Structure 1
Amino acid sequence: MGGDGRVYTVTSAKGGVGKSTTAANLGAMFGASNRETVVVDADLATPALTSHLDCSSSPSLHDVLAGETEVDEALVEHVGFDVLPGTPGAAAFAGVDIARLRPVVGTLRERYDVVVVDGGPGLSHDTVVPMQLADRVLLATTPDEASVEAAATTAEVAERVDARVEGCVVVKVTDRDQLDDVRRRLDAPIAAAVPRDDAVPRSQDLGKPVVVAAPSAPAAKAYWALAGRRPETD
């Protein structure tokens, strides 16, 4: 995969399937490839990416979407890439206008080589818009049936809104045979198979993507393969 000024949205109709983890690691890998990169926490109801990267700030994307501040005011520097974090809580969510996300992403596209958008779960207007803004959509799923079915439904919706699905990232893989089941049920290529790895939650506790915190861990190597790069050594 390469940047070339493109917007990538990581999404699925189901929560807890590795969207935020994948978005964070994509951002880190693009940043490590000398591309100016920003990761946007567009999960407006439950901004997990912001928590994983320990980069909450005020103002945030929620304030931008509420028309209360400019994009520049909400950007946060991370390790090798920038983050546009969100604000958790019902009060922040209630004030946003998802229509403002389009000009926000447009502004970021002009300033960065790569924009990675972490979409929210579900298939409401708030979660479909990030797909519509993407040049490439990456589906995220675990191998379990409910998650794969949610990814398949998301792929169908993406097709209806003319969003291009690049592939699927399967996380928490414990058996390669699980991938055969995913292939049978999901009409999208498997872009990466990320094994279940304790290094992932440990890296989140540190507020870093696993490719940064533990680049030689099995999960990190799988994410590096997604970007077509070899991992750095610890």
Structure 2
Amino acid sequence: MPLSSTLPAEADIRTALAGVNDPEIRKPITDLGMVESVAVHPDGVVEVAVLLTVAGCPMRDTLTNDVTAAVAKLAGVTGVRVNFGVMSDAQRKNLQTTLRGGQTAEPVIPFAQPGSLTRVYAVASGKGGVGKSSVTVNLAAALAARGLSVGVLDADIYGFSIPRMLGVEGRPTQVEQMIMPPQSHGVKVISIGMFTPGNTAVVWRGPMLHRALQQFLADVFWGDLDVLLMDLPPGTGDIAISVAQLVPGAEILVVTTPQQAAAEVAERAGSIALQTHQRLVGVVENMSWLELPNGERMDVFGSGGGEAVSAALSRTLGAQVPLLGQIPLDPRVREGGDSGIPLVLSDPDAAAAKALSGVADKLAVRQRGLAGMSLGLTPAARR
């Protein structure tokens, strides 16, 4: 039994707990009001009462391990007991207000605000089957691996596939009217597939699609994202129009294959920027070629589609729309989508992974700007 003089002070314990982040919100549990009480017993056992946002929180074990590890490092601690309670309605409302920066009004779309620093890329295609979702998840994983804070919004309500392709198994946690998105490979993810039982089809008309997209943008607690990737459904329908209305600053990234027929459709998808006044960040040509064992390239889907789309959109918009990359055809991209581990993570040296990482590099170097950032300057006093 340690002497009383060697027992840790409550202030030291709370300082240690400040280094423990909530697994879903990614903020210190002390800042979120989750630490209800701390007790130090004469035998050196520290008892910490933690308030969960909801009963049956799936991250209970993670919190137990993290709190125990943080407190056990302090001198004089012989053991740690973590007890859990659940926040009251009032406490959850306070938490919601805290996460929204003190605002109690109706939620707004943070990415549509003038001071937003998040780069939003709407990944579009003219038709399905060009690998748009595969490109999206690999770009997200590659950007997150560079240390950026990344989110993916699966805006393909009818054909959602992002949760499987990123290996997301958990479901969102709701705190009052705020939704905490699950994370995988360092990427925050939200999809209608997380709210439907089994493999149930979504049968909605346009207004419901718009409302779902609005909720995903406003009600989900994304935190301070560097990049938000939105995986759009093929074509220029309701969702593409809603994105332009809800997040007018979103930039369009067009995905096509080398096939001329696909390129023509992709060109139409990109030209929507003329009507919505959005910026086209560039074109990605997927499934560009298949590299044979002898080193030769087989143009399975033809060639030149990406360059054709880039040139046509540049002429149409009167501004350069670059071809950001050509992604070789690789069965491992499909395998990664089925297993939930993107190719850029499972085999970063593969030719397709390097090409995808090259596109991510071009997107990552674009600066967030200085709007809203603290420059650490102190005004000089007048003399």
TM-score range, shorter chain: 0.7 to 0.9
1:232: which partner in 2? none
From the superposition, tell whether residues 145 and 227 of structure 1 become closer, same or farther in structure 2 (CA, over 3 Å).
same
1:143 matched to 2:258: yes
1:12 matched to 2:125: yes
CA distance in 2, matches of 1:112, 1:48: 22
Question: Which of 319, 322, 332 pairs up with 1:199?
Answer: 332
Per-residue Cα deviation, 1:96-135 (whole angstroms, up to 9, x for no partner): 3414524643566653221111011122122332355253
2:213: which partner in 1? 101
Question: Which of 215, 220, 231 pairs up with 2:348?
Answer: 215
Per-residue Cα deviation, 1:146-196 (whole angstroms, up to 9, x for no partner): 211111101111221011101001000015953555555553321111111
CA distance in 1, matches of 2:324, 2:140: 16
Question: Which of 116, 126, 139 pairs up with 2:239?
Answer: 126
Q: State the AA in 1 paired with 2:225.
A: Y
CA distance in 1, matches of 2:141, 2:119: 15
From the superposition, tell whether residues 208 and 85 of structure 1 become closer, same or farther in structure 2 (CA, over 3 Å).
farther
Per-residue Cα deviation, 1:18-72 (whole angstroms, up to 9, x for no partner): 2111111121122112111111110011012233223255459xxx9xxxx8452
1:79: which partner in 2? 185
CA RMSD of aligned residues (A): 2.9
Alignment of 1:4-83 (within 5 A): 5-55=118-168, 58=171, 70=177, 72-73=179-180, 75-83=181-189
1:173 matched to 2:300: no
TM-score by length of 2: 0.51
Are the counterparts in 1 of residues 252 and 282 from structure 2 also a CA contact under 8 Å? yes
Q: State the AA in 2 paired with 1:222.
A: A
1:136 shift after superposition: 1.7
CA distance in 2, matches of 1:128, 1:80: 29
2:114: which partner in 1? none
Are the counterparts in 2 of residues 203 and 214 from structure 1 also a CA contact under 8 Å? no
Are the counterparts in 2 of residues 76 and 85 from structure 1 also a CA contact under 8 Å? no
SS of the residue 1:84 aligns to: strand
2:226: which partner in 1? 113
CA distance in 2, matches of 1:143, 1:93: 33
Q: Bigger relative contact order, structure 1 or 2, given CA contacts below 8 A and separation 6+? A: 1
2:268: which partner in 1? 153
Alignment of 1:178-189 (within 5 A): 178=304, 179-183=306-310, 185-187=312-314, 188-189=321-322
Greater alpha carbon shift after TM alignment, 153-162 vs 185-194: 185-194
The sequence identity of aligned pairs, in percent, is 28
CA distance in 2, matches of 1:183, 1:91: 34
Q: State the AA in 2 paired with 1:204.
A: G
Question: For the pair shown, which has the larger CA radius of gyration, 1 or 2?
Answer: 2
SS of the residue 1:160 aligns to: helix
Per-residue Cα deviation, 1:174-228 (whole angstroms, up to 9, x for no partner): 1595355555555332111111112211211221221112111111100111122
Q: How many residues align?
A: 219
1:90: which partner in 2? 201
SS of the residue 1:228 aligns to: helix
TM-score by length of 1: 0.80
Are the counterparts in 2 of residues 6 and 114 from structure 1 also a CA contact under 8 Å? yes
From the superposition, tell whether residues 125 and 56 of structure 1 become closer, same or farther in structure 2 (CA, over 3 Å).
farther
Q: State the AA in 1 paired with 2:144.
A: G
Ranges in structure 2 where 5+ consecutive residues have no aligned partner: 1-116, 194-198, 290-298, 315-320, 363-383
Q: State the AA in 1 paired with 2:208.
A: V
SS of the residue 2:138 aligns to: helix
CA distance in 1, matches of 2:313, 2:328: 19
Ranges in structure 1 where 5+ consecutive residues have no aligned partner: 230-234
Are the counterparts in 1 of residues 188 and 222 from structure 2 also a CA contact under 8 Å? no
